[in-house]
Structure 1
């Protein structure tokens, strides 16, 4: 008789029937007999997690149609959102190139009245002198190194100055083209005002994106991440009880499974389930494991941050940690958009000197942005599990 593959779930799996159904579907797709190991009833109590989540909405807020309140970012936050190390010479060089190009284009355009190259007050050198004076007073533009934004700033500033030189705009035209020593001051003032206008537009755009990102993080990533943290905390405190549940399920199938090198188990595990499987396989009283397939798991991340103990030595940064023979083979799947998935091959080394196999899982657009739970339904994941486990099909001795 062939031994089944035991499947250990990860975080936020409270419904035993739903998990059992997921394992049945995975078993059918992989072509391997599987037994679900459900420990979700021992996990975090997440009924009232929402009560602990922060919100920007106060009781006095009156928002129509359930709209999110405006997220106003203070100036220090603006600095954190945008680039930190800025080359101002490079910044202004890109702005200047765009200013000169736009002024040249405007002056040579047909039918543009005064835009014929005969306007000495539209001197790009003078304009850039005033831009440099005002640049440090901007809150957003001075902190970006995005070349597209800088070029568009220069082009927009030049367009605004060209419009102010248009004779059809009598007030602006005569104000700038007036005679007297105050003309440079007027141009300086105009450059500063226009640059400040563009800075406010850039700031408004960044804050709008920030508000949407904040909403997306809280509504899409927040609940999953919060439940992940809750189960991690519970596992750290109640590891023995959860390990005992896993062993009990295995013993119910066969009391000899996993106890010795002669009867190792095969395990597929998702998320925190992969951490559980690695912890048990490397324990001082190990669960002997022939093949382990993890998907969206964090065993390497946890060991780097806080050594797991058992038979594992801490990771020192230069050499991978040697895994005991009680964990014979390990294949680790990760999806690029899954923020809770980590690689294993740089942190760990199998007992025979080879590395665990890290396999990327292609991102499917249909899974959206929160991909941590998407592995269960992906054909590639089922295919890898089937291929790995088919190589290790221990049978009972006749």
Structure 2
């Protein structure tokens, strides 16, 4: 039986790794039930930690946070979602400024905002929308997101404004972006959210709202012309004073990922040995499915040790080719060809994943680069591979 060893990336710890492992199993099970997906968890044993309790970080623990384009336009759409994930209400604010005329209604007519609000609260009763939200990974968060948007000052102002008459699309995006914001801020593994599934959920929600059956994209123009100005204000909102104030929380959030990389580049043997032990314990033929830093370590291991059990290496969102080009890949100096012991290698990347690199140029004839599109902005693009059905179709066809 073929064994797929899932080697995780930087910053991953339990219980997040177990959730990611199960996601991979669920993705492959319908396509290749003959394959065993087994763990290769190195974060607990070979991952980084603040071993002196953060003594090296100035003021650590004293100021903790209180929880509180392409021709088809896809690049612009993804950038729009990047802004919405930061601020789900920004389109509603742009469409409904602080002051403006109230719409005049015919006697007995229901204000557009009231009809929108009532329809929005009923969205949870649509079976098809629930299916699409679950497929997008935000089903559990959507009802709370709707309530939060409708009751926010910006949401209430929008519903009272003339923009509410044709604002179904923007409102549907606000609900969805708020749900994603809640999902990405929750405990557990980084969400593998697929952009196409998200878009399908938005389209369904829009169609269920009054005035939303005119078609997607009809009201986006006036908003996107002002995105540049808003982006500047968002950048100012992330000023260094806030970063200093929140340094403890930022350190806690960032050090596992950055620390794992630094520790591996300085002393990577423990990680490589963890992978080697998992290979030796697995039933051959073995496939290494390795994400991010796990791909670096797996390539290093195969370049420096004879592991004939491994018949295929699949790196996903990996920096191994980039490190090799920099001369920083521990197991192989730049200019030295990939040893013959390295098995067939497939390298999966997303052009929006700023941590995913291609290898065919630096390892000619030894690696096959495969592009996938998760339709997510960075950094969600770095984990979206494992929510993309295309990855599992690729694996099903290529696994021994």
What TM-score results when the alignment is normalised by the length of structure 1?
0.48
Work out which of the two has the higher radius of gyration on C-alpha atoms and give 1 or 2: 1
